[in-house]
Amino acid sequence: MTDPAPFEIFLTGTPGLEDMLLAEVQEHGFQNAQAIRGGVTIQGTWPDVWRANLDLRGATRVLARVGSFMAFHLAQLDKRSRKFPWGDILRPDLPVKVEVTTKKSKIYHAGAATQRIETALKDSHGMTLSSDAEIVVKVRIDDNRATISVDTTGESLHKRGHKLGIGKAPMRETLASLMLRQCGYDGSETVVDPMCGSGTFVIEAAEIALGLQPGRSRGFAFEQLASFDQTAFTALKRDAPKEAALTFYGSDRDAGAIKMSRDNAERAGVAHLTEFVTHAAGELQPPDGTPGLVIVNPPYGGRIGNKKLLYPLYGTLGETLKTRFKGWRVGLVTSEPPLANATGLPFKAQGAPIPHGGLKVWLFTTDKLG
C-alpha cells in the first residue's frame, strides 16, 4: 500500500558535492529539490523513495521523513510515540532498530528517549527490536521536535552489487559519479583513467553512457516495509540499456588491479564498452577518436609513505597529458594541492574539500588542454 500524502525525503550525499547531487536529482524530475549541508531534500511519496534508491548515482542513502511531533519531556515522547501510525510503515513480523539523537532539547538523554520509543513500538504495535535489524528508525529530537525517519536504503548506495574486487584505496561509486559530473561528463564522450585501480571511474562512466540504473543489482531496506508494493517497484526498473558507441579506457601498472577491473566490468554488464591494460601512467597514449575526459585518482596521503617521492610521478603524468592529450579535459583527485600543482596542468580555481577515505581531498579540473 502506498500513502498518497507527500512527505520529506532526505538524500544524503558527499559533503562538498551537494550541488552536483542536486543537479542529478533535478534531472530525474524529483519535486521541490533543495541542496542542504550533507545532501538534498525532496518532497515525494513511497514510489519516489524507491526510484531515488534505484536511479540516483550520487546519493549515499535515502531517508524517508515520515512524521514529526513536539515532545518536551519523556512522558510526552512516550505518549506521542504510542499514537504514531507505525503500522502504516513497519511490519510487526520484522525486527526494528531505533537510533535517537538529541540537540537543543529538554529531552537531552538519547538513551532514555530510545528506550521510550522502543517500548512504545513493542506495546502499541507489537514490534520486535534488535540491535542488528536491517530496518532502522532514526529519531532526531531538535529544539523539542521529534522528527521520525526510516532508512530505506540499508547498505550504502555505493554498494551497487557487482563490484567484488576492490583496491587498497577504493573510490566509492557514489563519489566517482559526482566527480564525473563535476568534470562535465554526461555520458556522451570517452573517459580515460590512467591509474584505474579496480576500475570505478571507468565502469561508472560506461554505466552512465548506457543509462543503466545503479541500483539494478541489489536489494534495499524499503522492500521490508509495510508500505512496499512489489508490482509498482518492478515497474520502475528498466530492462534495455541505451546504445553507446563509445569505449572507456583504464590502465594501471598493477596487473592485479587490471584483472579486478575487468572482472568488475563484466559483472556490471559493461565489459563490451571497456578496455583495461597494464602499463605505467607515463606510457599512456590517447585513444583514437574525439577527445573526452581524463580522470585520475593518483596515490597521495596515507596511501604512500614519503610524499616527496610522488612529485616526479605527478610531474610525469602532467607532462604526458600536456603533450599527448591536447583537446582533452582533465580531472585529478588528491589530498595534496602541491602535488596537483606539480603536474603543471592549468587547473581551475581550487574547489571545496571533499571527505574521502578519512582524508580531505580536492577534485582539480581543467578546460580542454591547448
pLDDT at 95: 97
| Three-state SS annotation for the chain | CCCCCCEEEEEECCCCCHHHHHHHHHHCCCEEEEEECCEEEEEECHHHHHHHHHHCCCCCEEEEEEEEEECCCHHHHHHHHHHCCHHHCCCCCCCEEEEEEEECCCCCCHHHHHHHHHHHHHHHHCCCECCCCCEEEEEEEECCEEEEEEECCCCCCCCCCCCCCCCCCCCCHHHHHHHHHHCCCCCCCCEEECCCCCCHHHHHHHHHHHCCCCCCCCCCHHHHCCCCCHHHHHCCCCCCCCCCCCCEEEEECCHHHHHHHHHHHHHHCCHHHEEEEECCHHHCCCCCCCCCEEEECCCCHHHCCCHHHHHHHHHHHHHHHHHHCCCCEEEEEECCHHHHHHCCCCCCCCCCCEEECCEEEEEEECCCCC
- Please tell me the distance from the alpha carbon of residue 1 to that of residue 120, in angstroms, as a whole number: 23
Residue 236 in contact with residue 178, Cβ under 8 Å?
Answer: no
Q: Give the torsion sign (CA, 64, 66, 69, 72).
A: negative
pLDDT at 304: 55
- Please tell me the distance from the alpha carbon of residue 140 to that of residue 147, in angstroms, as a whole number: 5
Low-confidence ranges of the chain (pLDDT < 50): 1-3
- Please tell me the distance from the alpha carbon of residue 90 to that of residue 9, in angstroms, as a whole number: 17
* Ramachandran angles phi, psi of 354, nearest 5°: -130, 125
pLDDT at 302: 60
Q: Who's near 87: CB < 8 A, 6+ residues apart?
A: 125, 226
pLDDT at 109: 92
* Ramachandran angles phi, psi of 257, nearest 5°: -65, -40
Please state, in angstroms and as integers, the Cα–Cα distance from residue 357 to each residue in 191, 234, 299, 301, following that order: 24, 35, 12, 10
Domains and CATH numbers, the chain: 7-151 (3.30.2130.30), 173-215+242-365 (3.40.50.150)
Picking from 81, 93, 102, the residue whose alpha carbon sits closest to that of residue 133 is: 93
pLDDT at 296: 97
Residue 314 in contact with residue 298, Cβ under 8 Å?
Answer: yes
For 134, other C-beta atoms within 10 Å of its C-beta total 17
Please state, in angstroms and as integers, the Cα–Cα distance from residue 326 to each residue in 293, 319, 365, 368, following that order: 11, 11, 15, 7
Please state, in angstroms and as integers, the Cα–Cα distance from residue 365 to each residue in 179, 321, 322, following that order: 10, 13, 14
Please state, in angstroms and as integers, the Cα–Cα distance from residue 161 to each residue in 89, 171, 215, 231, 354, following that order: 26, 15, 8, 22, 24
pLDDT at 1: 44
pLDDT at 2: 43
